[in-house]
Structure 1
Amino acid sequence: MNIYENLLDRKMKMSIIGLGYVGMPIGIAFAKQIDVIGFDVNDKKIEQYKKGIDPTLEVGDEAIQETTLEFTSDEKELQKASFHIVAVPTPINQDKTPNLNPVESATHTLGKNLTKGSIVVYESTVYPGVTENVCIPILEEESGLKHGVDFAVGYSPERINPGDKVNTLEKIVKIVSATTDEALEEIAKVYEIVVKAGVHKAPSMKVAEAAKVVENSQRDINIAFMNELALVFDRMGIDSKDVIDAMNTKWNALGFTPGLVGGHCIGIDPYYFVYEAGNLGYHSQIIKAGREVNDSMGEYIAGKIIKKLVQTGKAPVQSKVVIFGLTFKESTPDVRNSKVEDIINRLKDYNIEPIVVDPWADVNEAKSEYGIEIVDFSEVRDADALVFTVAHPEFNQLSFEEIDELFKEENTNEQKIIIDVKSILDKESFISEGYSFWRL
């Protein structure tokens, strides 16, 4: 095929289909070495990129402004590329079943513009078999080309950790796979252009697809274990963080902590496994149970907020609750599948309209996705309860005095409620002053 050499000689181009939290870092990295076309159906997003604005905050405005990456929403531009990477999201439906619409739509678009001799690599998370059984037939139908003869397909699961500036694309071993040995070698060499950690050649695309689902499912299960412990320790009157700190003194402790599990990976990928296992006649037990535990945490935390309000003599409906954090994790503007929404919805059942503060969240996405108006920190005052749901650095750095100033002046310390979901505050300093303090 020699696509690798032609890319390096700039005789051929690469395309990245889907310029989000995964596709953009990939495109930026490759564009430093080869010619890359960045395609996305979202015209507004493309316009932002062309203006040098990075709404994902994954690479930063400066990297966008300096890159040679060609931004476009014109699908015909894909015809100029010979190596395509599909990096679109794969969410779930309301009934927790896989939603393959984005990856299927991207495949239809690419198929219409696929040229002979091309390689297509999927990075979107799917259950084993999707690339071969769903994507390849669409590519063949739309292009009129024959897989294995006119074009090749591979699968290389994305492993980027949004908001992580340490474990970046270049430093994470890349799993690669393909339907033929020749395509596998070509794909491996192309990724090695930017992935300095090297590649792992999986024996089949199904293995590579399964690896991605499994690596996120195992994290989900471990967090579910810690969440279940936290639920029980709370009933026992034991601080779960104190237990975890003690446990972590042993060399083989895994270091997981309880919390909300959302986002577009850990909170979704296990359902892809559960779905396909069910199709094969196996009822998932551990993975499904872990999902149920993690999905229940938002409602549980909301219950603790209500209980604290009642215990401190406040009428919940008349109380001012401030939630710090809406994104699914710290240091990212990504609000997709944020489990903070579960807390908010449960509070609304008690006619509480919480105020939400998040310096990282995309204000427009928060409004369109959840109908939530993000409030600036400077506007917070006269609170009855402060709920810290996301460990953004801005929240970690708040002093005792800064937090105390957010409460109503007439509240006694015993009436000042702090719910610390991520254990980012110094518990003892607040407890010693008589605050009504609870952490997961």
Structure 2
Amino acid sequence: MTKTFDLSLEATRIGIVGLGYVGLPLAVEFGKRYPTIGYDVNKARLAELREGRDSSLEVEPEELAQSNQLAYTDTPEGLADCNVYVVTVPTPINAHRQPDLRPLESASQLLGKVIKPGCVVVFESTVYPGATEEVCIPIIEAHSGLKYNQGFFAGYSPERINPGDKEHRVTTIKKVTSGSTPEVARFVDALYASVISAGTHLASSIRVAEAAKVIENTQRDLNIALINELALIFNKLGIDTEEVLEAAGTKWNFLPFRPGLVGGHCIGVDPYYLTHKAQQIGYHPEIILAGRRLNDSMGAYVAGQVIKLMTRRCSINKDSRILILGLAFKENCPDLRNTRVVDIIQELEDYGLQCDVHDPWASPSEAEHEYGIRLIEQPTANHYDGIVLAVAHRQFVELGVDNIRAFGKPNAVLYDVKALLPRDAVDGRL
């Protein structure tokens, strides 16, 4: 028998599990209106937040200060007084490109130990349709002794954070919501509507909300894969891809996608969650996986193009050194998660070349910890045989082509992954 849900907004005390790119902005907004506890296992992360700093650069110090009902904890006990929990932990893939649900499973175990009768758990982490109720809920039941939709309830409201985007913020992006019963769904929708100025969209079920999220980035991935494939074709035809896209873009309904590396925690990851579930039910998703294979190959393609250009110019030997400008997965953002710039670096190093990597946004300690890459603080002038402009950081725009070329030797090759510089000023670009 399903218990009547009776939690009110006025009685809401929120616990946010995970204070990364998704969890912190949400915790800050909830903390302006509700008693909110932000939980994270990273003590250094909590220390900087308590000091009013966010190293991810998603939340400004003044915003942290305005969230006067937000506190932090790294212990499960610190979450004990909450009655609504929001899970915002990462959902990465493993080395075999299969979903890695361990962070989600750990969060579910944690909540199973602190949850009380009548509580609601809302998941925001991107998953395949069915994961919330097939994976997370049984773990909470096992550790809490409570029954789903009797002792506790659930919702799903997929995150739509765009790291580094100062225009599209958590409050200005429409929020999809859902709940495990009609009453819970209305409560979850009202809870988010109270802090999301852009409004909400109440989905009919948790599975629909999960599916909506996972196809958002799958669609973008496939669109970029199409443009990447066009870039490969046009390169063989000797046609500049950017010029073609500019011309095609004069039609009102042409979609403005550009070729490039597809990294980050969303677009390069989420499609594998959907294809994993599809294969579980006996369907082989040909188009989605084809797009993933093509996008995953672009780093090696760029490296190959650089090698060809250097060979033609006779500027390559065993001591050749390449400057990589940018390591983050996107411009004007310190986020290194799943950056595909590493594919270019690894491929060039496989050819025996030495790479120096410079990124004014990225954390040197994170780059070394995650990828074994030691960032250089400043490139040396007249030092490099090849330069790869991999990320369109504003600092590189401000440098301009002459100052970028000054890092290279007189016959150095300059390859522009992002079509940031004038076509006639570079030796190659996607």
Q: 2:263 corresponds to which residue?
A: 262
Distance across 2 between alignment mates of 1:139 and 1:358: 42
Render the CA deviation track for 1:91-139: whole Å, top value 9, x for unaligned. Answer: 0111111100000001100110111211110000000111111111111
Superposition deviation, residue 401 in structure 1? 3.0
Superposition deviation, residue 379 in structure 1? 4.4
Deviating more after overlay: 415-424 vs 250-259: 415-424
Q: 1:365 corresponds to which residue?
A: 366
Show structure 1 runs of 5+ residues with no match.
431-435
Q: 2:21 corresponds to which residue?
A: 21
Q: Is residue 46 of structure 2 the alignment partner of residue 42 of structure 1?
A: no
Going from structure 1 to structure 2, the CA distance change for 1:333 and 1:276 (only over 3 Å counts) comes to: same
Q: Is residue 429 of structure 2 the alignment partner of residue 439 of structure 1?
A: yes
Render the CA deviation track for 1:151-182: whole Å, top value 9, x for unaligned. Answer: 11000100111111111111111111111000
Superposition deviation, residue 380 in structure 1? 5.3
Query: SS of the residue aligned with 1:286?
Result: helix
Distance across 1 between alignment mates of 2:110 and 2:381: 47
Number of aligned positions between the proteins: 425
**TM-score for the superposition, normalised by structure 2:** 0.96
2:156–2:177 CA contact under 8 A, matched in 1: yes
Q: 1:420 corresponds to which residue?
A: 416
2:359–2:375 CA contact under 8 A, matched in 1: yes
Q: 1:235 corresponds to which residue?
A: 236
Distance across 2 between alignment mates of 1:416 and 1:188: 56
Q: 2:10 corresponds to which residue?
A: 6
Distance across 1 between alignment mates of 2:240 and 2:396: 21
Residue identity (%)? 46
Distance across 2 between alignment mates of 1:194 and 1:43: 28
Distance across 1 between alignment mates of 2:382 and 2:35: 51
Render the CA deviation track for 1:322-350: whole Å, top value 9, x for unaligned. Answer: 01110111121111111001111111111
Distance across 1 between alignment mates of 2:329 and 2:188: 32
Distance across 2 between alignment mates of 1:141 and 1:29: 32
2:407 partner letter? L
Render the CA deviation track for 1:61-93: whole Å, top value 9, x for unaligned. Answer: 343355332111011111111111000000011
Going from structure 1 to structure 2, the CA distance change for 1:98 and 1:327 (only over 3 Å counts) comes to: same
Render the CA deviation track for 1:172-228: whole Å, top value 9, x for unaligned. Answer: 111111110000010011001111111111111111000111010000000000000
1:89–1:124 CA contact under 8 A, matched in 2: yes
Q: 1:291 corresponds to which residue?
A: 292
Query: SS of the residue aligned with 2:415?
Result: strand
Q: 2:88 corresponds to which residue?
A: 87
1:251 partner letter? W
RMSD: 1.3
1:437 partner letter? D
Superposition deviation, residue 300 in structure 1? 0.4
Render the CA deviation track for 1:261-315: whole Å, top value 9, x for unaligned. Answer: 0111000000011111011111101100000000000000000111111111122
Query: SS of the residue aligned with 1:81?
Result: coil
Deviating more after overlay: 317-326 vs 201-210: 317-326
2:322–2:387 CA contact under 8 A, matched in 1: yes
Q: 2:189 corresponds to which residue?
A: 188
2:92 partner letter? P
Superposition deviation, residue 386 in structure 1? 1.4
Going from structure 1 to structure 2, the CA distance change for 1:379 and 1:70 (only over 3 Å counts) comes to: farther
Query: SS of the residue aligned with 2:427?
Result: strand
Query: SS of the residue aligned with 1:212?
Result: helix
1:309–1:316 CA contact under 8 A, matched in 2: no
Distance across 1 between alignment mates of 2:382 and 2:376: 11
1:170–1:194 CA contact under 8 A, matched in 2: yes
Q: 1:385 corresponds to which residue?
A: 386
Superposition deviation, residue 381 in structure 1? 4.5
Q: 2:33 corresponds to which residue?
A: 33
1:175 partner letter? V
Q: 2:314 corresponds to which residue?
A: 313
Q: 1:175 corresponds to which residue?
A: 176
2:29–2:67 CA contact under 8 A, matched in 1: no
1:240 partner letter? T
Show structure 2 runs of 5+ residues with no match.
none
Aligned residue runs from structure 1 range 384-403, under 5 A: 384-403=385-404
Distance across 1 between alignment mates of 2:300 and 2:317: 16
Q: 1:112 corresponds to which residue?
A: 113
Q: 1:433 corresponds to which residue?
A: none
Query: SS of the residue aligned with 1:110?
Result: helix
Distance across 2 between alignment mates of 1:380 and 1:164: 32
